[in-house]
Structure 1
Amino acid sequence: MTLLDTAGLGPLPSFLQQQGAGAVLPIVSPAGNTMWLVRDYTLARKVLTDPRFSRAAAVTPQAPKFNDAQPAADSMMSMDGAEHARLRRLVSGAFTTGRVAAIAPWVERWVDERLDRLERRGTGADLIGDLAAPLSVSVLCTLLGIPAADSERFRGWVEVLFDITASSPHEKGRRRLELLDYMGQTIEQKRRQPDDALLTVLIKAQERGEMSMAELLTLGLTLLMAGYETTVGQIGLAALVILSDEVVYDALKRQPERLPGTVEELLRLTPATPLSFSRVATRQVQLGEVTVRAGEGVVVSLLHGNRDPATFPDPQRLLPQGRDAGHLTFGHGVHRCLGAPLARLQIQTVLNRLIGHFPRLRLVDALEPVAWKHGLATRGLSRLSVEWR
């Protein structure tokens, strides 16, 4: 067991750093709207499952907004009920545990080859730019059937769209149009030359009338974007923790069978997505001591829920065997992250291969071995500099 250094969380919005103040408290969002922030594990699960808290209502023009990095109204992540279930059903088969296990050998080979290449290149690397980012985009492109040659262009587009402060609305709009145009061209190419990848499966569903062309475009982009930035962030955060704590690193070298439980604890303690997408109450709802009125916005702090001492005793402590209660990092309920098995596969593979390949891996001996991303809807590192000799 090891106690996680709270400073390892990196930069957080001020409203996530407040101590005490209750399970549900009012905050002013980055967009300037007053909303309710839920920090209690049990109440968080209620918000994420209660149909009275609507994702569809949260993307209407009059709804209180959290920031400008919200999914489009015709995105699966912005739908409720039957509409959400219809689109989710079309893609869920690609993310089952069995399907993900089938691509595990490919992911392992990719990581092994990349680590061999890095070792031949020198005695150090940036685990974000040299490993986590190219792995995440390669996995998603392979899953969807996107040409590998287009992966770098895609990374640039997505990083601008996820940036909530550093890029202007005009720049976001331009990149969004470029992405839509790219996805439209790719879909037409797949119609002419179908393959067995997920995008072709979705195109066939659209041709059968199971979704509109607009929904197909948005769904293709959602699948590409939703799993990229979060997975890169989660890999970097997990690697940072184990490299910052010799006890954890040495334990995993001696007992690699503890890696799955350790990864679950890393996901709990260091979520790349500290907040849920916002929801709007469609009716008055009682949340603990707070009455949420119809039309008011609610956002869940996954970070606080994951460290709720009522659910996770001694919550700052990393238990390699994992916990009985499930963490909220991938969400909860019908909107729970489809790509959770795929993210777990990548995190576990990277950590396992890093430890096996570089038993003396460590953060570089420099003043700032890491650089945190700023202004993003997700948390993560822009650089994680390591050395192995």
Structure 2
Amino acid sequence: MSADPVPPLAIARTCPYAPPAQHQALRKEAPISKVKLPSGATAWAVTRYEDIRTLLSDPRFSSSRRHPGFPHLTPFVLPPLNPRPFLIDMDGQEHAAARRAVVGEFTVKRSAALATRIQQIVDEHIGVMLAGPRPVDLVQALSLPVPSLVICELLGVPYADHAFFQTRSTNLVNRNTPMEEKASAFFELLGYLNKLVTDKEEKPTDDLIGRQIQKLREEGTYDHDAMLNLAFILLIAGHETTANMISLSTLVLLKHPEKLAALRKDPEKTPAAVEELLRYFTIAESGIGRVTTEEVELGGVRIPAGEGVIVLANVGNRDPEVFEDADTLDLARGARNHLAFGFGPHQCLGQNLARLELQIVIDTLFRRIPELRPAVPESELSFKEDALVYGMHEFPVTW
């Protein structure tokens, strides 16, 4: 712990498999306490599981990133670049109505209907891996293209343009991307999606965006800018997080061959294993911010109105009061009450789809390439310590 009464919030992990030591110390010693953000502003870090669930369900903690007290994790804060709020920026009835309009696209049943196509995509990419030279970068060969193709097909975005939006989304989620580059990436991606949405307005298609346009027009509630913002959020969130989880899950399973062997012997255990992998890594570890709209007492601490709050879900998911032997990877744990997808009204829309993709990739990858192994020592692997979503830049593998 820093001697500074308001210590800087640690972002980078020192161990690939554990949250920053500072976050763990905060949960033990000062579960709700002030920290300094990279922007220089201060915010309250909340680290205990129950406190996190309480605040994420309390409407007095606002999601509005336009509020002057909102806790941004980048070294600088971009001014609002779009006049309309995004789904993740909304509160109350505005958020409930916007989410209700699209939630039917992400039900368990709707996601399960995509299983055959996801399996085809995974098989095709593993087939290319097997046919090509070794070593292979798993990130580029499998982790990124699978969720990218799935979200492109779901939204109706041409996969031929995936390099364009992956480059821009990487710049957006990298904490240290210069402000000019971040703004440029935002506007370029928004311009691309603006044309896409406009084209679908003129000629509706049978995909999520096309169906939403038709549905909302019939209801008399369609708004072009709102649809543009929805497409923007879903495109970025729909591939970035799942791609990182594929790489990290493969890495840790290879690190524990006995656990992997048990999983390969009984694929019915994969869904429980996926829940544990999500809990164990919690890759959007400090990505949930809120700001108080009035004074709130949380966990015995009074937080004044207008102050930022950072949810450290990474250590919330390692809370020993909730998860026994919480720092251990236990693939049989199967606890679905983790915070990897958040909690409350803003809980991740695409969680069912993400679970399905991870299950199919894990089962298929280790069935088809049982001799898979890292091609370089762990010390040479490059992790995303500079990003808002934890993951791997590259993962060379061979067999």
For normalisation by structure 1, the TM-score amounts to 0.92
Indicate the SS of the match to 2:113.
helix
Return the match for 1:16 from 23, 29, 35. Answer: 23
Match of 2:152 in 1: 141
Match of 2:351 in 1: 340
Q: Deviations over 1:288-308 (max 9, x none)?
A: 131111111111111011000
Match of 2:284 in 1: 273
Deviation at 1:323, TM superposition (A): 4.3
Deviation at 1:113, TM superposition (A): 1.2
Q: Is the 8 Å Cα contact of residues 128 and 381 (structure 1) preserved in structure 2?
A: yes
Match of 2:263 in 1: 252
In structure 1, C-alpha distance between the alignment counterparts of 2:79 and 2:94, rounded to whole Å: 18
| Residues 1:100 and 2:111 are matched in the alignment | yes
Read off the aligned partner of 1:244 and give its amino acid letter.
K
In structure 1, C-alpha distance between the alignment counterparts of 2:303 and 2:389, rounded to whole Å: 26
In structure 2, C-alpha distance between the alignment counterparts of 1:17 and 1:326, rounded to whole Å: 20
Q: Deviations over 1:305-338 (max 9, x none)?
A: 1000000111112222224561000001110000
Return the match for 1:219 from 215, 223, 230. Answer: 230
Structure 2 unmatched runs, 5+: 1-13
Indicate the SS of the match to 2:323.
coil
% identical aligned pairs: 35
Q: Is the 8 Å Cα contact of residues 69 and 307 (structure 2) preserved in structure 1?
A: no
The 1:158/1:189 distance shift into structure 2, 3 A limit, reads same
Q: Work out the number of aligned pairs and report it.
A: 381
Match of 2:332 in 1: 321
| Residues 1:45 and 2:56 are matched in the alignment | no
Indicate the SS of the match to 1:227.
helix
Match of 1:3 in 2: none
Return the match for 1:193 from 203, 217, 226. Answer: 203
- Between 1:76-85 and 1:206-215, the stretch displaced more is 206-215
Match of 2:6 in 1: none
Q: Is the 8 Å Cα contact of residues 262 and 322 (structure 1) preserved in structure 2?
A: yes
Match of 1:374 in 2: 385
Match of 1:118 in 2: 129
Deviation at 1:192, TM superposition (A): 2.8
- Between 1:134-143 and 1:315-324, the stretch displaced more is 315-324
| Residues 1:182 and 2:192 are matched in the alignment | yes
Read off the aligned partner of 2:72 and give its amino acid letter.
K
Q: Is the 8 Å Cα contact of residues 78 and 179 (structure 2) preserved in structure 1?
A: no
Match of 1:34 in 2: 42
Q: Is the 8 Å Cα contact of residues 15 and 27 (structure 1) preserved in structure 2?
A: no
- Between 1:315-324 and 1:74-83, the stretch displaced more is 315-324
Match of 2:180 in 1: 170
Q: Deviations over 1:257-306 (max 9, x none)?
A: 21111111110011111024211111211111311111111111110110
Q: Is the 8 Å Cα contact of residues 35 and 299 (structure 1) preserved in structure 2?
A: yes
In structure 2, C-alpha distance between the alignment counterparts of 1:70 and 1:93, rounded to whole Å: 33
The 1:229/1:240 distance shift into structure 2, 3 A limit, reads same
Q: Deviations over 1:39-96 (max 9, x none)?
A: 100000001101111112x422454433348996610111111100111112111111
Q: Is the 8 Å Cα contact of residues 287 and 388 (structure 2) preserved in structure 1?
A: no
In structure 2, C-alpha distance between the alignment counterparts of 1:276 and 1:125, rounded to whole Å: 30
The 1:334/1:184 distance shift into structure 2, 3 A limit, reads same
Deviation at 1:368, TM superposition (A): 4.2
Q: Is the 8 Å Cα contact of residues 373 and 382 (structure 1) preserved in structure 2?
A: yes
Read off the aligned partner of 2:193 and give its amino acid letter.
M
- Between 1:314-323 and 1:23-32, the stretch displaced more is 314-323
Structure 1 unmatched runs, 5+: 1-5
In structure 1, C-alpha distance between the alignment counterparts of 2:79 and 2:365, rounded to whole Å: 34
In structure 2, C-alpha distance between the alignment counterparts of 1:365 and 1:147, rounded to whole Å: 34
In structure 2, C-alpha distance between the alignment counterparts of 1:366 and 1:77, rounded to whole Å: 39
Q: Root-mean-square deviation (CA), in Å?
A: 2.2
For normalisation by structure 2, the TM-score amounts to 0.90
In structure 2, C-alpha distance between the alignment counterparts of 1:64 and 1:196, rounded to whole Å: 38
In structure 2, C-alpha distance between the alignment counterparts of 1:194 and 1:213, rounded to whole Å: 13
